[in-house]
Amino acid sequence: MHSSRTIFLASVFLLTLTYSVTAVGRWDTIPSLWPNAMVPYKLSKSVQNFDSKNNTILHAMEEIEAASCIHFMPRTTEDDFVELSAGFDCAGPTGRQGKAQVMQLMVPFCLERKKMLRQLLHLLGLPNEHQRPDRDSSITVNWDNISPLDAPLFAKLNKTDLPLEEMPYDYNSLTHPDGFFRAKTASIPTMTPLKEGVTVGKATGLSSGDINKLRLLYC
C-alpha cells in the first residue's frame, strides 16, 4: 500500500508535468523571473541541520509546485541559484538576481510553513502586496502611526517589471502584512483596506491570488 506522502509526491509530479508541458508564462521576457519556471537551490549545512526533522523548506516548495508549474531543484552546475543560509532575519532578494543569491533564514524562527511560503513567493518575484505602485486604490497608509525608521517598509515600488495591471490587489496574499504592521501605537492600524469587510495579513497559506499570480508569470 502506498503511503500518503508517496501519493502526495506523485500528485505533485503529475501536476508539475502537466503545467510544464503547456508553460507559456512571462519568464522569457521578465528578467526577475526564473527561466523555464525552474529554481535551482542549495541548502547550507546549518539550515539542513535545523530543518532535517520537519523538512519545512521542502514541504513549502512542494506546496508551491503542486499549485503551479514551478519546480525547485537542488543546484548542480547552474550559474543562477539561491542558497538558503542561516542569518539574522527572514529575508532575501525579490526575484532572480543572476548568479548566486542568498536567502537568509533566522533558524529556527523562519522555519515555519507560513514564513517559508512567503519567502519563496518573494524569491519567485512577488513583491510585498502593500508596496505595489497601485496600492493607493486598495489601502490607505496611516503615516502618522509609522516611525520614520520604518517608513521604507511602506514605500511604494517606483518600478516593477511585473504585469501588475493583470493582477488584482490581493488582501489575502501571504505577502501582505497585517493592518497593524510596525505600528507606533499598537491599537491604531498602519494600513486600512478601502474595501469594506476585509482584513489583511490573516492568511495561513497560499491565497488564490498568490497561485494565480504564479501561474500568470510562469505557466
- Cβ atoms of 219 and 24 closer than 8 Å: yes
pLDDT per residue as tens digits for the range 49-100:
989 888 999 999 999 999 999 999 999 999 999 999 999 999 999 999 999 9
- Report pLDDT for 214: 96
Pair 33, 92 in one domain: yes
Pair 85, 148 in one domain: no
- Helices (DSSP H) in the chain: which residue ranges? 4-21, 45-51, 56-67, 113-123, 208-218
Strand 38-43 relative to strand 81-86, pairing:
parallel
CATH number where 198 lies: 3.40.390.10
pLDDT per residue as tens digits for the range 92-119:
999 999 999 999 999 999 999 999 999 9
Q: Helix 113-123 vs helix 56-67: angle between axes, to the nearest 10 degrees?
A: 60
Domain of 93, in residue numbers? 4-125
Instruction: Give me the residues paired with residue 27 across strands.
Output: none
Q: Higher pLDDT residue, 16 or 208?
A: 208
How many domains, the chain? 2
- Cβ atoms of 110 and 166 closer than 8 Å: no
Pair 159, 119 in one domain: no
Pair 74, 56 in one domain: yes
Instruction: Give me the residues paired with residue 91 across strands.
Output: 104
- Report pLDDT for 164: 76
Pair 135, 176 in one domain: yes
- Cβ atoms of 100 and 83 closer than 8 Å: yes
- Look at residue 178 and tell me if it is in a domain: yes
List CB contacts of 41: < 8 A, sequence separation 6 or more: 61, 72, 73, 74, 75, 81, 82, 83, 84
- Look at residue 57 and tell me if it is in a domain: yes
- Report pLDDT for 59: 97
Pair 99, 42 in one domain: yes
Pair 14, 97 in one domain: yes
Whole-prediction pTM: 0.87
Q: Which of 59, 91, 125 is the last residue of a domain?
A: 125
